[in-house]
Each structure stands twice: as structure tokens, then as C-alpha cells.
Amino acid sequence: MEKQKSTYIPERYWRAIKNNDSTYNGLFYYGVQTTGIFCRPSCKSRLPLPENVQIFSSAKEALAKQFRPCKRCRPEQLLLPEDKWVEELIDWIDCHLQRKITLEDLAEVVHVSPYHLQRTFKKRTGKSPHVYIRNARVERAKEYLVSTDKSISSISKEVGVENTAYFITIFKDSMNVTPTIYRARQQGRGNLC
């Protein structure tokens, strides 16, 4: 490989590499000229000497410069097409609706920065992850309301909302009726409003 003298590393990038800071994942990659391997900022591999480090803005760029992806932090995984990992995320959300889900949880699943995730998710689905998850909770609750006799508070918990009052609020925001009225209407028990 052609040995290039290292260019300038922005101070915050060097700090991210030193601290294995995963919030920088997806924002840049670094190659180590002595090994020919490139990593994500969060990689826990041994800290290289700064003069051997080369910064890339994408995994593609690192590969084009003949660096090999690190086996430990798998930086090339990001080359998965965006729609593919958004799809993966949607499946994951579906399986984990019964609990609290943070942006950081999601970022952990697909190994990208929360910022990048938020932007890409919205671009692909038209909704922020937050709104998407809230809608998914309401959809799941609708199923339970119609197909079970469970109480509103236990349905609230099963769709990942601890606070029943809050659950009723988001349900009403989206459906224009409370869960109780929705259930009654669906079961054809008449006009409660």
C-alpha cells in the first residue's frame, strides 16, 4: 500500500477514537496505515499512533484506498443498503414493542450513530423513529382491544407504555377516541359518545 503521510486529524475525531465513542459511528472511519485496517470510532482495538491514522468519511472510501475492514468492529456493515437496515429495524421494533425503546437502543441494533439513524429512518419511512414506534404501539393496542378482554392498563403495559394516562392520550391523539370507546364501537356495543 502506498504510504501517505497522515493528514490532519480533527481534535474531536482523535478524542472519539481514544474514547471509543460510538456517537461518532457512521460519521467517520479511521484507517491505520501500519496495519492497513480500518475501523469505526467505537472500535476497542489498540489505540494507534496518531501519525499512522488516516480519516475517511465513508467505509467505501476506505475500501477504495485498499484498507481492509476490521474483523472486530465490522465497519463495512454500513455498506448494507439503507432500506435493508431500516427494514431490520422495523422488525426489531415489532419484536420489542412491549418495552421502552430509545434511539440509542435502535442505533445499537444497526451499528450506526443515533443522528444518522434518525435521518435515514425518516427518509425511508417518512416518519421519525419516535413517531413510528408510537403508531406501532397504537396499532398493537387496537388489536388487543378488539381481540381480548384485557383492561386498558394492562394493554397499555403490553404495548410498552407504563403510564396508562399517557397511553390513553396517544391513543386518542391518533384515533380521535379513547381506547374504551374504540373497543365498544368495534364490539358493536353501541354509541358511547
Binding site for Zn ion (CB under 5 A): 39, 43, 45, 70, 72-73
Q: What are the residues facing 31 on neighbouring strands?
A: 38, 54
Return the number of the residue (75 or 160) whose C-beta is nearest Zn ion.
75
Q: CA–CA separation, 171 vs 38, rounded Å? A: 47
Return the number of the residue (73 or 152) whose C-beta is nearest Zn ion.
73
Closest contact distance (angstroms) between CB of 38 and Zn ion is: 8
Q: CA–CA separation, 1 vs 147, rounded Å? A: 63
Q: CA–CA separation, 75 vs 126, rounded Å? A: 27
Closest contact distance (angstroms) between CB of 71 and Zn ion is: 8
Closest contact distance (angstroms) between CB of 39 and Zn ion is: 3
Return the number of the residue (41 or 114) whose C-beta is nearest Zn ion.
41
Return the number of the residue (40 or 134) whose C-beta is nearest Zn ion.
40
Closest contact distance (angstroms) between CB of 24 and Zn ion is: 13
DSSP letters spanning 33-88 = TTTTEEE-TT--SPPPPGGGEEEESSHHHHHHTTPEEPTTT-GGGGGS-HHHHHHH
Phi, psi of 38 (to 5 degrees): -120, 155
Compute the residue count for the chain.
193
Active site residues: 39
- Residue owning grid cell 455498506: 79
Q: Give me 113's grid cell.
A: 450513530
Residue, CB closest to Zn ion: 70
